[in-house]
Amino acid sequence: MSTLSLAVSRLGLQPHVALAQLPGEVAASRSLSEARMASLTLVNSFCKPGDPVVKLHAAQTLRQLPADIETLKLLCAILEKSADAEVICVVLAAIHSDSAPNTAELRDLLLLVQHQLLKMIDNEDERIAQQAILTFGRLYRRESPAAIAPVDHVSAVLRKEAVSLQTRLLLIQLLKKLYPDERAISLCFEQLDSLSQSSACRPSRRRRIARFAIQSIVDRPELITDETLQSLASRNLITHAMFYLKDISLSSFRYFFYGFLTSDNPRVQQLALLTMARILDSIPHEMLTIVKRLVPFHTTVCLRILSRQLAPQDMVSVLTPLIVDLDFHLKKTVLVHAVRLSKSDSSASLLFHKIVDRLSRTPTKELLIAISQYLHHVISVDDGIASLLFSACDIASCSDIPRRLTARVCLQASSRNITYSDQFCAIAANIISTQQSSFGRYLIGLECLMYGGISGGRLAKPIFSDLNPLSPTFNLFWLRTLMFVSASLESGGNTYAALVPLYQAHMAMSAVSFPGIDTFFQLEFLRLRIELIEATCSIYNPQTKYSTVLQQSLEVIAAGLVKLAHISMSLSTSLTAYLSRLSTLCKDWTQLQVLRKDLLAIPASFFTLLPCDVVGARASVSAGLISVSGRLRAEIVDKIVSVYAVFGDSCVAVQVDRGVLSCNSVCSFLDFSGQVKIVGTDRLQQQWQLANIIPTKV
């Protein structure tokens, strides 16, 4: 006896044990006839009202049967014998014919089943009616015989006022599967008209039914005619239909757009613009003219449309007046498009000039970010723009804009203009000198290495040399690594003089230890950088010729860079692109001059090693105690094992007791008027955490 037969035989003796085993046995059975017999036995013997366990296992068992004609016959037999609503719903949910071969016998059986389902649509039990609608939608095919006439049955049910909301919505959704029957669309319009005349229907219910009806009408754009759009327009529903239109190119619909764009209603204009951005690939010139006029009122969506339709020089003429008269709420949108355009077209330098001019008049963080992004994608900046940018950065360095951002722009500009390089470096040096905290100088030092090139290395070297290597905020060997990288950049970055500090940086990096943090990328990048410099320094000696050995060496380095790019994909996409470009240049002898420029750059991901969590908070201070609460306590204090308080550059141990930090040192919290840094070790991840506290005397 098979295990399936054994499970069936247990149904009378141990029903619940057998029921739990039956779905798995049916799925594993190699005998389909035996599996179907087991399912029929289950439903006939145990599908009794009020037994939810049996209903659950019956549904699981029926779902295990294959979707063929024999299974369909079995389910039809169960439908004929059972009068239990739950059994009927379970059987209806199991009916499908997707994988059954399209034979004459199957078509006849489906015709019979669909006739039964259409009768069930009008069932008094809503569960049966709704499940019958869903099942009919799965089985219905457009080549089904006309004798089924589903639209007539659906129409008869929809005209009944007692039909529930959910059943009505399912019927309206079913109508879109009955296309191209024109009566289906007419029935949707009939529902919309009856809703507009009904005062008994709640507004929320009316809106929901209208939404489903409109979606049913426009869900298949290839079947929409001009008459359909005219019918929607006559009912003032065309703007609502725009939410659901996906792909339509009817001439009448383009005609409607002219009316929408010239409407006095801003909401109608916005809907039209959003729909145009989504569904229209090409827009007539006359319509683009209207879109240009709407840019000040619907900036975001208009710029999205115009950026895909206009040539770069035309887009510059659209963005220029926006930058000159920049509103606060439009800054980010306009600047993003300006920077994106500057990457792809040289004519966008006019935009950069306007942004710099605006920065010199009203320095803002958004403008500086846009300038930084622009400088990242250009090789050089002419003296006129550099002079204007120098004045703007000088003003920004004295404003409330983050100093680190201003320093970054100065460092980027210094490496892109020789004439004003020293002046930009002077602003960056002044910003560094005004930083009172060690951590602030550390962050600006990283900016110098990432964006400053030779000048940045010269500025960064004293920063890392002066930082206290014994402070718990920093790692001794990581500071030494950064100091040696600074020396390498200062010496030219791609000469033999840069190799000695790079060797030292690699040795210091190999000693860096952060719990839970892998330093493989930094070590591997330094190694490949050393090999590249060794291989390419001799190339530019006039007496040295390109050799097969050098070619093989560069190919090995290129392979290492490709491997590192794949490993480091989680760091950033820009880093992956940078490493891939380096590997390509290594294989091309004619591009090695470009390679020398890239050797000066160290990707920003190299410096994202220090795992500190900066959290600003106010705390009450009394004598030698600091009481903290809220986010600071939840994220820092309650999770750390050892704690230090940093006063300027000095560091003292701190005791923690239920959110209160106490300092037993002769140096009290009240003795320091600025920020107090709280440094600790996370109890779970064992990573350094950092919080800045501004003491408030009580």
What residues does 676 pair with on adjacent strands?
Answer: 647, 693
Total-model pTM: 0.51
Same domain, 283 and 320: no
Domain count, the chain: 3
Same domain, 362 and 276: no
Residue finishing a domain among 309, 324, 340: 309
Q: Closest Cα to residue 677, out of 452, 439, 512?
A: 439
Same domain, 299 and 386: no
Same domain, 341 and 257: no
Q: Write the pLDDT tens digit of every residue in 359-389.
A: 777 778 878 888 887 777 677 788 888 888 8
Residue finishing a domain among 253, 288, 309: 309
Same domain, 665 and 691: yes
Q: How confident is the model at residue 294, as a pLDDT?
A: 83
Helices H, strands E: what count in the chain? 34, 7
Q: What CATH number corresponds to the domain at position 675?
A: 2.60.40
Token pair of 176 as six digits: 């879109």
Residue finishing a domain among 309, 325, 349: 309
Task: For residue 425, tell me if it sits in a domain.
Answer: yes
pLDDT along the chain (698 residues), means of 10: 50 49 54 60 55 60 65 71 68 67 72 78 80 79 61 78 78 72 73 70 70 70 66 67 58 63 76 73 78 81 81 77 63 68 62 77 80 76 84 84 86 84 89 82 85 84 82 77 87 75 86 71 84 68 56 75 63 62 63 51 67 43 52 53 56 58 51 55 45 49
Task: For residue 289, tell me if it sits in a domain.
Answer: yes
Token pair of 456 as six digits: 């940045």
Between CA 445 and CA 457 the distance in angstroms is: 9
Structural domain containing residue 428? 311-434
Same domain, 300 and 335: no
> What is the C-alpha radius of gyration for the chain, rounded to an integer number of angstroms?
36
Task: For residue 545, tell me if it sits in a domain.
Answer: no
Same domain, 325 and 384: yes
Between CA 128 and CA 122 the distance in angstroms is: 9
Q: How confident is the model at residue 252, as a pLDDT?
A: 55
Phi, psi of 125 (to 5 degrees): -80, 115
Q: How are beta strands 688-697 and 660-662 bridged, if at all?
A: unpaired
Same domain, 264 and 342: no
Q: How confident is the model at residue 250, as a pLDDT?
A: 52
Q: How confident is the model at residue 96, as a pLDDT?
A: 67
For residue 284, cis peptide bond before it (omega within 30 degrees of 0): no
Same domain, 633 and 646: yes
Longest dimension (CA), the chain: 98
Q: How confident is the model at residue 22, as a pLDDT?
A: 55
Task: For residue 544, tell me if it sits in a domain.
Answer: no
Task: For residue 245, tell me if it sits in a domain.
Answer: yes
Same domain, 352 and 277: no
Residues in the chain: 698
Q: How confident is the model at residue 280, as a pLDDT?
A: 66
Q: Closest Cα to residue 490, out of 525, 466, 454?
A: 454
Same domain, 281 and 355: no
Task: For residue 345, tell me if it sits in a domain.
Answer: yes
Q: How confident is the model at residue 530, as a pLDDT?
A: 84
Task: For residue 415, tell me if it sits in a domain.
Answer: yes
Q: How confident is the model at residue 614, as a pLDDT?
A: 39
Q: How confident is the model at residue 616, as a pLDDT?
A: 41
Q: How confident is the model at residue 698, as a pLDDT?
A: 39
Task: For residue 339, tell me if it sits in a domain.
Answer: yes
Phi, psi of 554 (to 5 degrees): -65, -35
Same domain, 361 and 392: yes
